[in-house]
């Protein structure tokens, strides 16, 4: 390859990554704007999920969504479809069970991490455990899978040739957003010096890559929402 080709390829990838970064920053600003109004993470998921549902309903009414929602998955045989779903359900269960073991590495540091990271993440308008369960099984999966897979993955695919790169970037931003949801000026110093925080961050990236990989294979956002809800259910039942 010529130097000129490599140079322009580098500039193109840099520009595409900057656009992705800007898009994610705008999403994050929008999330924080709603959070400032609602003062509640559950209500935040509810508001954004309802907006997404309204958007998808309008989209379905005005345009055939097959290309975005089903892509290559619609052409698979019945047996192949459910074998793929079974594989990803089993993989999600395995990842979730492995993630349960990480707190045993250092229970003391884990307790510090939990105390500083999540003690102030709820509160505000909705404080009911029922709403938190519904949020975990419905609102959060709809919101996160739509943002990080339906929107981000399709955007990345339109700009990058490597599917593996798209999967990693989607997973990486998934991890970033999960830690940004609770890190602030008060707990920043304690969290970044606690290695349990970094293990949690890596686990979230792994799960983000898992969901992105599933979406890359099925192209069906409904399956991703199901898988996300299923892995959250495993957490609630343990």
In the chain, domain spans: 3-237
Look up tokens 């830690």; give the residue: 179
- Tokens 């981000």 correspond to 152
Contact in structure between 20 and 152 (CB atoms under 8 Å): yes
What's the mean pLDDT when you consider all of the chain? 76
pLDDT band, residue 116 (cuts 50/70/90): confident
pLDDT in tens, 82-100: 888 889 999 999 998 888 8
Q: Which of 28, 207, 52, 226 is nearest to 141 (CA)?
A: 226
Least confident piece of the model among 57-71, 100-114, 123-137, 148-162: 57-71
H or E element that contains 147: none
Phi, psi of 63 (to 5 degrees): -150, 145
d(CA 180, CA 168): 18
Q: Which residue has the tokens 């999966």?
A: 141
Cβ atoms of 45 and 140 within 8 Å: the answer is yes
CA of 236: how far to CAs of 121, 129, 133, 146, 229, in Å?
17, 11, 8, 22, 10
Tokens of 74: 């619609």
14-19-21-24 Cα dihedral, nearest 10 degrees: -160
Which range scores top for mean pLDDT: 24-28, 112-116, 195-199? 195-199
Q: Which residue has the higher pLDDT, 125 or 41?
A: 41
**Token pair of 57, please?**
């309903």
The whole-angstrom separation of Cα 202 and Cα 71 is 30
pTM: predicted TM-score of the whole model, two decimal places: 0.77
Which residue, chain included where needed, has tokens 């739509």?
A: 146
Length of the chain: 238
Residue 120: Cβ within 10 Å count: 11
Q: Alpha carbon of 87 to those of 37, 50, 98, 206, 214: distances in Å?
A: 41, 30, 17, 17, 10
């Amino acid at each position: 390859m010529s130097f000129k080709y490599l140079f322009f390829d580098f500039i193109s990838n840099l520009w595409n990554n900057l656009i992705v970064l800007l898009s994610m920053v705008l999403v994050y600003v929008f999330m924080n704007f709603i959070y400032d109004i609602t003062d509640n993470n559950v209500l935040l998921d509810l508001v954004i999920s309802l907006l997404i549902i309204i958007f998808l309903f309008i989209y379905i009414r005005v345009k055939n969504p097959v290309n975005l929602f089903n892509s290559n998955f619609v052409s698979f045989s019945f047996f192949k479809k459910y074998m793929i779903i079974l594989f990803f359900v089993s993989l999600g269960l395995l990842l979730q069970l492995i993630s349960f073991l990480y707190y045993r590495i250092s229970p003391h540091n884990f307790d510090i991490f939990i105390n500083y990271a999540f003690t102030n993440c709820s509160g505000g308008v909705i404080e009911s455990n029922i709403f938190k369960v519904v949020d975990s099984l419905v609102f959060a999966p709809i919101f996160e899978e739509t943002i990080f897979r339906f929107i981000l993955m399709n955007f990345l695919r339109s700009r990058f040739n490597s599917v593996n790169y798209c999967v990693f970037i989607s997973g990486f931003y998934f991890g970033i957003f999960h830690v940004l949801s609770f890190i602030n000026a008060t707990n920043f110093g304690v969290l970044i010096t606690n290695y349990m925080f970094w293990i949690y961050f890596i686990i979230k990236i792994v799960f983000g890559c898992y969901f992105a990989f599933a979406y890359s294979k099925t192209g069906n956002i409904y399956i991703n929402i199901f898988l996300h809800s299923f892995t959250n259910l495993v957490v609630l039942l343990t």
